[in-house]
Structure 1
Amino acid sequence: MTDQVECNCAWNPDRHADTCPVYMQQRIEALRAEIEELDTLRNRQSDLLSQTAIAVRGPEPALTRYSHADIPSRVKAVVADLEAVRGLLSGLIRAVRSINCTPRHAIMIKGDDEPCFWQRREWVEYVLGLCTEAEAALTATTAPKVRPDLIRFDFINADGQPDSKMITHDDMRERYNALYQQSESSLEREQIALAHAHDPMPVLDDDLRYILGRPNFWCYSLANAMRAMGQEIARKAEEEQAAVIHWLLKAYFEHGPGWRDAVEKILAAEREKELAKGGEQ
């Protein structure tokens, strides 16, 4: 492509100046070749990483590409699992090789023409326990990690290319934790504003004035009636006053203007119970 531009380096035709069109064209071609080489190397490394991810995690689900970011941690976990299995197998091999098989351990059993070797029960149980641990570790290492709550997450990777991977709902919530906190803060502010806009305190009407204005000596007889109904009230004037006012307020909020009738019905029913008890005696 250098023949498409003209050289303007009249002073030295053997070496083009940095501003010469021919030199610029040569640099462009060299950079293009370098970019192509780097692209080939990147694609090769990407394929190797993808194959490694598949080897570690299993086949990719449909329409999904595994991320390469967690390959080191996953490989580290696999290596740790294998080391754990190797340690268990080594212990199992050492235990099996300690079987009593010398002539002094040999015994003859009727009906068997070959010698048998006695073993203590606790040693046999120990070896079987090692087998169980090794089998469990091997199963945990080779079994696929099933995660039924996976969802597809599309994103732009570090290379600026579209990518996707399967993550859990918990992972998704962690990614957007800041947004959740912001939403919760907004909701809390709205609730506080709503509470301020609608004052929960009722209007101080005649019924509330009557209930809240009960003196402590007035509450004595009603507190005794409440004790008869099973309520525990300390025998102090202030405790009796607080319990009675609280009970009357509860009746007010439940029955509205009919709270007096509701209280009288409860007290009347209690008096009838007491009269019935007295008649039985």
Structure 2
Amino acid sequence: MHTPPRFGYPCTLTEARRTRAQSPQILRNILGTLPYPTEPADALLEVLGLMLFTTTPIEHALRAAGTDIPKRCEEEQAHALHWLIQLALPHGAEWRARAGKSLDELRAATQAGGGNEKL
């Protein structure tokens, strides 16, 4: 009887070989259902290539608006990139203008409301 792999990983050499043999089809099945693109668009590459010092103002605006972001540079940048990816995927080349407008709205709402409200 076949025992499913624990924690999603093959447990035995036989299971590892079976998984390896099936992996191209499994990968095609998974990629076909992901909302994330299988080929990187220009806007996505641009966002993912942003440097830490470029994303810092975004992290500050998100944190001021109440987003709970741990104070580790890796997590701060991850939050900013996640936020920007959500703009880049649907808006393509317009992501930067959308991000600027959204940041302006966040800053205005934070200043008007006294800040630190949860998003």
Q: TM-score, normalised by structure 1?
A: 0.27
Given candidates 56, 63, 67, the residue that maps to 1:220 is 56
Question: Is the CA contact (8 Å cut-off) linking 1:217 and 1:237 kept in structure 2?
Answer: no
Task: Give the distance between the partners of 1:193 and 1:238, measured in 2 at CA.
Answer: 28
Superposition map of 1:16-165 within 5 A: none
Q: Which sections of structure 2, spanning at least 5 residues, go unmatched?
A: 1-24, 115-119
Alignment partners' CA distance in 2, 1:230 and 1:250 = 18
Q: Flag structure 1 segments of 5+ consecutive residues without an equivalent.
A: 1-190
Question: What does residue 92 of structure 2 align with?
Answer: 256
CA RMSD in angstroms comes to: 2.9
Q: How many residues align?
A: 88
1:229 Cα deviation after fit:
2.1
Instruction: Letter of the 1:229 partner, please give it.
Output: A
- Is residue 202 of structure 1 aligned with residue 35 of structure 2? no
- Determine which structure has more spread, i.e. the larger CA radius of gyration: 1
Q: CA deviation at 1:248?
A: 0.8
1:276–1:195 Cα change, 3 Å? same
Alpha-carbon separation, structure 1, partners of 2:76 and 2:41:
23
SS across alignment from 1:230: coil
Comparing both structures, which one devotes a greater share of its residues to helix?
A: 2
Residue 112 of structure 2 is matched in structure 1 by 276
Letter in 2 for 1:245: L
Residue 140 of structure 1 aligns with which residue? none
After superposition, give the CA deviation of every residue in 1:119-172 in whole Å (9 maximum; x if it has no partner): xxxxxxxxxxxxxxxxxxxxxxxxxxxxxxxxxxxxxxxxxxxxxxxxxxxxxx
User: Which residue of the other structure, out of 238, 261, 264, is the alignment partner of 2:74?
Assistant: 238
- TM-score (normalised: structure 2): 0.57
Which is richer in strand?
A: 1
Question: Which residue of structure 1 lines up, in the alignment, with residue 15 of structure 2?
Answer: none
The alignment partner of 1:232 has SS state of: coil
